[in-house]
Chain A
Amino acid sequence: MKYTEDHEWLKLDGDVVTVGITEHAATQLGDVVFVELPEAGGEVSKGDEVAVIESVKAASDILAPADGTITEVNEGLADNPALVNEDPLGGAWFFKMTLKDRSVLDGFMDEDAYKALIG
Chain B
Amino acid sequence: MSDLKRTVLYDLHVGLGARMVPFAGYEMPVQYPLGVLKEHLHTRAAAGLFDVSHMGQVILRAPSGRAVDAAQALESLVPVNLMDLKEGRQRYALFTDAEGGILDDLMVANRGDHLFVVVNAACKDQDIAHMRSHLTGACVVEEVTDRALIALQGPAAEAALESLVPAVTAMRFMDVAVMAWQGVDLWISRSGYTGEDGYEISVPDAQAVAFAEALLAMEPVEPIGLGARDSLRLEAGLCLYGHDIDRSTSPIEADLAWAIQKARRTGGAREGGFPGAGRILSELTEGAARKRVGLLPEGRAPMREGVQLFAGAEGGEAVGQITSGGFGPTLQAPVAMGYLPAGLATPGTVVYGEVRGKRLPARVTELPFRPSTYKR
Contacts and interface: CB of A to CB of B under 8 A. Distances in A.
Interface of A: 30-31, 33-34, 36, 52, 54, 56-59, 78, 81
Contact of A30 (B31, B304, B334, B356): B31
Contact of B301 (A30, A34, A58): A34
A56 B327 contact: yes
Interface residues of B, number: 16
Interface of B is mostly: mixed
Given A52-B301, A54-B302, 19 more contacts: A30-B37, A31-B36, A31-B37, A33-B37, A34-B300, A34-B301, A34-B302, A34-B327, A36-B301, A54-B301, A54-B327, A56-B227, A56-B231, A56-B327, A56-B329, A57-B227, A59-B304, A78-B300, A81-B300
15 contacts: A30-B31, A30-B36, A30-B37, A33-B37, A33-B334, A34-B327, A34-B334, A52-B356, A56-B37, A56-B231, A56-B326, A56-B327, A57-B227, A58-B304, A78-B300
Nearest to B228: A56
Contacts of A36: 301
A84 B233 CA distance: 26
Interface string B300-341: 111010000000000000000000001101000010000000
A30 B35 contact: yes
Nearest to A56: B36
Contacts of A59: 302, 304
Most buried by B among A52, A57, A78: A57
Interface of B: 31, 35-38, 227, 231, 300-302, 304, 326-327, 329, 334, 356
Contacts of B334: 33-34
B301 A57 contact: no
Nearest to B36: A56
A29 to B, nearest CB: 11
Nearest to A85: B35
B295 to A, nearest CB: 16
Most buried by B among A30, A52, A56: A56
A30 to B, nearest CB: 6
A59 B304 CA distance: 9
Contacts of A57: 36, 227
Contacts of B38: 31
A70 to B, nearest CB: 18
Contacts of B36: 30-31, 56-57
Contacts of A58: 304
B52 to A, nearest CB: 20
A52 B231 CA distance: 21
Contacts of B31: 30
B332 to A, nearest CB: 9
Contacts of A81: 300
A57 B226 CA distance: 11
Contacts of A31: 35-38
A56 B300 CA distance: 12
A36 B356 CA distance: 11
Across chains A and B, which 8 residue pairs bring their CB atoms closest together, nearest first? Answer: A31-B37, A33-B327, A56-B36, A34-B300, A54-B302, A34-B301, A31-B35, A56-B327
A13 B301 CA distance: 32
A105 to B, nearest CB: 29
A36 B326 CA distance: 15
Nearest to A54: B302
A15 B63 CA distance: 83
A59 B355 CA distance: 11
Contacts of A33: 37, 300, 302, 327, 334
A64 to B, nearest CB: 16
A99 to B, nearest CB: 26
A23 B300 CA distance: 23
Contacts of B301: 34, 36, 52, 54
Nearest to B299: A34
Contacts of B37: 30-31, 33, 56
